[in-house]
A and B are shown apart, each in its own frame.
Chain A
Amino acid sequence: MEKVDKDDKIKISFTINGEKKEMEVKSNQTLLTFIRDDLGLIGTKYGCGEGSCGVCTILMNGNPAKSCQYNVSAIDGKNIITIEGLSGEDDDLHPIQKAFAETGAVQCGYCIPGLILRTKWLLEKNPSPTREKAKRAISPILCRCTGYRKIIDAVMLASEKMEVD
């Protein structure tokens, strides 16, 4: 990371959704604002700005991170995945995305990008979690619509599907 001018901008390099980038960015902004306002990736949501709801979750070097809680400089040298980076090259649904659609886990859908990314992290760590483990693993992300049952169904279905693959 290199300071471009002393007030405002920094130069950072990072990989986002498979694409390497080197950019001069405003230093006094959160990672969430950068992703949405500068990169235009609006699949990462704003919910509370204080790290309580988790709808701004992205993957940073494979781990879930609440992007509203980081300064943009945090991604320097890191590998970032947002929801837009999950579908395949031909825009096919990832098995986790498919599972969320099939089990009825999606209502308003505002929390879904964060939940899907957190599920990806979970299943990479633990390809066949128990329902109890799945419930605990997704608990940092709030959903006000579903009651979570169908979200857990989605995590379990995704786990099955990915095991078979």
Chain B
Amino acid sequence: MSGRENNSEIEERQIVGKNVIRTDAERKVKGKTVFGFDYGTIAKRRFDDLLHIKFVRSTHGHSKIKEIDTSKAEDMEGVVGIFTHEDVPDVKFTTAGQSYPEPSPYDTKVLNEKIRFYGEPVALVAAESEGIAEKAAEKIEVEYEKLPVILDPEEAIESEANIHEGGNVQDEIDVEVGEMDKSIENSDVVIEREFETQIQKHCHLEPHACVTRIDENGNLLVESTNQVVYHVRRILSNIFDIPYGDIRVKSWEIGGGFGDKQEMGIEHYATLVTVKTGRPAFAYFDRKEQFFLSRRRHAAKLKVRIGADEDGTINGIHIDATSDTGGYGTHGTTVTSNMGTMTLPLYAKDCENLKFTAKVVYTNKPPAGAFRGYGTVQGGFALECTIDELAEKLGLDPIDIRVKNAIEAGIIDPLSKVISEGGKIIPREIKSCGLKETLVKGKELFDWEEKGKEGRDVEGSKRRGIGVASAMKGSGVVGFELASSHIKLNEDGTVQVTTGASDMGQGLNSVLSQIAAETIGINLEDVKMVSADTEKTTFSMGTYASSGTYMEGRAVKKAAEELRGKILERAGEIMDEKPEELKAENGKVFVKEDPERTIEVEKVAMDTIYGEKKTQLEGFGDVEDILSPPPFSTHLVEVEVDVETGEVDITRYLTLSDIGTPINPIAAEGQIEGAVTQGIGYALYEELRFDEEGRIENPSFRNYHIPTSDEVPEIEAEFVKTHEPSGPYGAKSVGEIGMVPPAPAIANAIYDAIGVRFRELPITPDKVLKELKSS
């Protein structure tokens, strides 16, 4: 087993690897934490001249705006400004919060003359109160020239009605390593299956919200709830032609993001109003607007073709995807590319013939975007269900066939040689890999073989089944990303750690505090985090692509190592010892050979600031992503399907994940449990539905159901520990990996229970009943 770390090193650790109470928990349980939306409420109370923004939204899915009559609204008292496509800068951009140059097309303006999805903002109203803004928005009359509404990607490919100039195929991908066709010819069995996945909505409970104003220094201040403050600053600078240094973007606490806030979702609207009026402005989405105006998961149609030998050796895999990016192409290419690049290497142990082809297609649905799992979810569903069918065809156990082909450490991800999300090809070697162990240990812990032998009939109308699926993901984006951190030592021995990335609820600040405290040798409570503020921190890509722990963690560790070196040097001067003879732990520096001789970090700190030789001790670290080490995971699930109601009940859900060495295991468990729960919703019921105009039919929690506490099983999160040599204290990533296996594992378990293969998501009771009737 590669990537093992020697035990003595682990035992020496004080803070990293321990279950610690999150450093933000106390304020959160007291209700004191200020989220972006809350800052809107604070702004309402603080700024008398705050403008409230409301949206006029299109009532057609595809149209040209002929005329907007704002006269009735303008006459209303309290209306300060009404802005349409005629008032926005003539600059096209992408709202995708990605590094530069973004792999997403520049295909939108702040407000567009052509409407590409139902509900797209046509005008913004800024008024003295929310009520006035709302009433004024209702009085604005828009005349549309209707165009054909195209909702199906395959129809869009054929259609002559272009949603954007240049056609409806936003991008195409065609990559291959090895010789796919030949590998199929040389295979004993070939299996080919088609799949379809639906549109899922993020449903973070805190809506998008943003307050903009010209601050006391004359700078544009954008206060929001956002995963990518530096990217937002860059995009705003480009649109509004304001120098970077004159814009400050800050994220308050994020009440859930899941990728929806890896985007300039609302900041440009509020900025437009402040730029035009010079006044503070507050924009937010109410829940219905949240459904219409923020991003959603790409729906996809996928084909999988696998060639294998009788003994289960996989010779070649081809995935073909058609993905629906909606009215705009934000994240379209990269999400779609992940449908292949983050799934195909999973079984690349002996298989070097991999092919991925895809089309990213514009339709008149709301724009898709980043969403936890980022394409891997769709590709993973298709691949992992096909592997299950392959195993059956060969008469092999679905776990055994995976073990046989599982990628291992030392292998270079074959696809990384030909395709890269960021454009720069950097072949990535897998340095740590516990995939096989997740399968083998899972088989044992789940009692897989015994369960397989049990009868399928439970009591009454229920049938039992078991299923398995595996996944890989990345940690950041290879060759595309930068993270940095600055740490300064305060007079009292505490430190201020900065990161440009946001904590979106996953506990990033807490993990970074642990890394800083461990590395410097101080106590956890002596670390103060400053994050997601372009004025107070150095550059970081932001929080996405499962990069937080891996990218920011490395940056913080590097900065902390530099600071630790300086602390030990100064302590050495005071103690008359060589720095290399010293060690810091829990806020004390001691002589390694004589641990009784100590000096407190606090004393060292005071001495540096106020002593004879004055200096500000600090550390800085910046890191690139050249490996994006993949975490791996296997999920095993037991279901009971009621053949009379079609309902699927999950009776056991076991996950085993290789996320490297967890920094805060209890928080990592929480990431897996939460991701699996979103995955269960995706597998069994979550789906945005549309009418013929492309209007969302279920834009509320009443009609778009997300899992509740009495519906989800108690998810078991086990970790197969590896040591990722490139990661901070051996860690890889955990945020997204848990989202990928639920749908295929559940679909495979349902097949085991009732003998029906579901290749379309979600697997609702209606569909189950329909299939049972026809079979």
Contacts and interface: CB of A to CB of B under 8 A. Distances in A.
A110 B256 contact: yes
Interface string B19-53: 10110111011111111011001101100000000
B205 interface: yes
B207 A107 contact: no
Contact of A101 (B22, B669, B676): B22
Interface of A: 36-37, 40-50, 52-53, 55, 82-84, 86-87, 91, 93, 97-98, 100-104, 106-113, 116, 135-136, 138-152
23 contacts: A37-B41, A37-B45, A42-B38, A45-B206, A49-B286, A49-B287, A52-B700, A52-B701, A52-B702, A84-B31, A93-B30, A101-B28, A104-B666, A104-B670, A106-B22, A107-B256, A107-B505, A110-B35, A111-B205, A142-B706, A146-B670, A146-B673, A148-B712
B674 A147 contact: yes
A43 B701 contact: no
Nearest to B290: A48
A110 B714 CA distance: 21
B7 interface: no
B667 interface: yes
B507 A93 contact: no
A107 B507 contact: yes
Given A48-B700, A48-B701, A144-B205, A109 B715 contact: no
B223 interface: no
Contacts of A45: 35, 37-38, 205-206, 255
B417 to A, nearest CB: 37
B709 interface: yes
A101 B256 CA distance: 18
A141 B706 CA distance: 11
A55 B724 CA distance: 39
A32 B280 CA distance: 24
B504 interface: yes
Given A55-B205, A146-B674, A84 B714 contact: no
> Which bucket holds chain B's interface residue count?
35 or more
Contacts of A140: 708
A138 B709 contact: yes
Contacts of A40: 41-42, 45
A44 B701 CA distance: 19
B669 A104 contact: yes
B708 A44 contact: no
B28 A106 contact: yes
A119 B19 CA distance: 24
A106 B29 CA distance: 8
A48 to B, nearest CB: 4
B44 A37 contact: yes
B56 interface: no
A100 B143 CA distance: 53
Nearest to A97: B29
B261 to A, nearest CB: 11
A136 B712 CA distance: 11
A152 B713 CA distance: 12
Nearest to B653: A147
B41 A108 contact: no
Contacts of A87: 30
A110 B30 CA distance: 11
A104 B30 contact: no
B681 to A, nearest CB: 9
Given A52-B700, A139-B708, A142-B706, A107 B506 contact: yes
Contacts of B255: 45, 108-110
A156 to B, nearest CB: 12
What are the nearest 6 A-B pairs in CB distance? A43-B31, A108-B505, A83-B31, A109-B28, A110-B255, A147-B673
Residue among B29, B254, B676 having the largest count of chain A Cβ atoms under 10 Å: B29
Contacts of B30: 43, 83-84, 86-87, 91, 93, 97
B42 A42 contact: yes
B29 A112 contact: yes
B322 interface: no
B709 A48 contact: no
Given A50-B701, A139-B710, A152-B709, A93 B29 contact: yes
A149 B669 CA distance: 10
A54 to B, nearest CB: 9
Interface in B505-559: 505-507
B258 interface: yes
B634 to A, nearest CB: 18
Given A87-B30, A101-B25, 6 more contacts: A42-B41, A47-B287, A48-B287, A53-B287, A82-B31, A144-B258
Contact of A136 (B25, B28, B506, B710): B710
Contact of B714 (A107, A111, A152): A152
B31 A44 contact: yes
Contacts of A49: 286-287
Interface in B670-693: 670, 673-678
A148 B674 CA distance: 8
Nearest to B505: A108
Interface string B230-255: 00000000000000000000000111
Residue among B25, B35, B206 having the largest count of chain A Cβ atoms under 10 Å: B25
A43 B30 CA distance: 8
B624 to A, nearest CB: 29
Nearest to B677: A147
Contacts of A144: 202-205, 256, 258, 674, 678, 706
A84 B676 CA distance: 32
A111 B256 CA distance: 10
A88 to B, nearest CB: 11
A112 B387 CA distance: 40
Contacts of B28: 101, 106, 109, 112
Contacts of B38: 42, 45
Interface string B696-719: 000011100011111110110000
Interface in B631-688: 666-667, 669-670, 673-678
Interface in B195-221: 202-207
Contact of A110 (B206, B506, B507, B666): B206
Contacts of A36: 41
A79 B169 CA distance: 59
A91 B38 CA distance: 21
B702 A110 contact: no
Contacts of A37: 41, 44-45
Contacts of B206: 45, 47, 108, 110
Nearest to B34: A42
B41 A149 contact: no
Contacts of A145: 256, 505-506, 670, 674
Contacts of B203: 142, 144
B765 to A, nearest CB: 19
A150 B29 contact: no
Contacts of B19: 104
